[in-house]
Amino acid sequence: MALLKPKDIQFRPYWNSKPSRWFAPKRGEYSLFSIWSGSQKTVDISILDEQENPIYSIKKVLHSGLNTWQWDNMLEVDMALKAEASKNEDKDKPLNKSLMPISEGLRLGHKIYIQKGLYKLVVKDSTNTESIEFEVK
């Protein structure tokens, strides 16, 4: 199994805004990840933030050869909130709201997309683990 270097993801400003009541959301903004596999197998695909906290995961079946996984750039809310909470664990310091875009986004009714930063794609099967870094600019 091998991962091909993905393109960096271009952050979209409207990801941090409330969906419009009058206009349909933009479609077709996906990130593509390529995974080569020597045989058919089931894998766990995870995306980790800079602190190695999981923010998204899914199980997929890979076929022998080159596989493409398409991701809509949205996070799993429970995982993202847990990762966000770990950034504010220092109880001696006041709560830093700038480290809480997920909580704020949920409070305001926004969809939860990936934020700017460095991330790691991890693909794990029963015997191997492969990872590669990418950036959201």
What domains can you pick out in the chain, each with its CATH number? Answer: 2-136 (2.60.40.1930)
- The answer to which of 49-53, 86-90, 114-118 has the lowest mean pLDDT is 86-90
Instruction: With a cut of 70, say whether residue 136 has pLDDT above it.
Output: yes
Spatial neighbors of 64 by CB under 8 A, at least 6 apart, are 37, 38, 39, 40
pLDDT tens-place string over residues 24-55: 666 657 899 999 999 999 999 999 999 999 99
d(CA 48, CA 45): 10
